[in-house]
Structures are given as C-alpha cells and as structure tokens.
Amino acid sequence: MNIFDLKTIKTFPYKDRDKNVLFKSDGFKTRVIKLAENEEIPLCEMTDSVIFYVIEGEGEIVVNGEKNRIFTNNCIITEPAKISLKTKTGIKMLGIQIKAEK
C-alpha cells in the first residue's frame, strides 16, 4: 500500500514528468502533473484511458478537439484520445493512465 499527500507532494516540471510518477504497474500508471502559469502540454495521442483529477488551479483541456474549462476538484475521464492542456494561472492534477484490455 502507498499513501500520498497530493497537496504537498514534490513535483517536477513537465519536461521531467517521468520523475512525477507515483506508481506504475502492468495495468496502470499514476503521476502528478503540475504546470506553471502559461504552460501547456502539447497535443498527444493517448493509447490508454485516462482519469485526471484537478487538485488545484484551472485550465483548458482539449480531448479529440472538444474544449472544456477545468477547475479545482473536477474529475475528467476519457477513453483513448488526443489530449492537450494549457493553463493561464497554473494547475496541479493527478493523472491515471489505465491500459485498455486486449
């Protein structure tokens, strides 16, 4: 069992995102994502289902071309998709990738 305090956990910039992985197994991977003011995650094609939980902040997420504003305590769930994210004010999220069944 692992217990993480998501409010105080140390995070690294997006370019070092592999350091933000909290847990990884054959079926899923969990990481903290933190973007500073005016940062973004470029469009990426996710082959896994994804759950994002916004710990704090706000931003704009684009999933398969559909834009939505996201805020603290929002939970976003998507099947494999093309996803991008940007923020003007900063955002901290928990991201969970769940491998598709074969």
Residue 84 lies in a domain: yes
pLDDT of residue 101: 73
pTM across the whole model: 0.90
pLDDT of residue 102: 63
pLDDT of residue 62: 98
pLDDT of residue 27: 92
Number of domains the chain is built from? 1
For residue 16, the tally of other CB atoms under 10 A from its CB is 9
Residue 8 lies in a domain: no
Residues 99/26, Cβ–Cβ less than 8 Å: yes
Residue 2 lies in a domain: no
Q: List the domain range (segments joined by +) for residue 75.
A: 14-98
Residue 1 lies in a domain: no
The ranges of the chain with pLDDT < 70 are 102
CATH number at residue 27: 2.60.120.10
Residues 16/32, Cβ–Cβ less than 8 Å: no
Share of residues in the chain with pLDDT > 90 (%)? 77
pLDDT of residue 16: 83
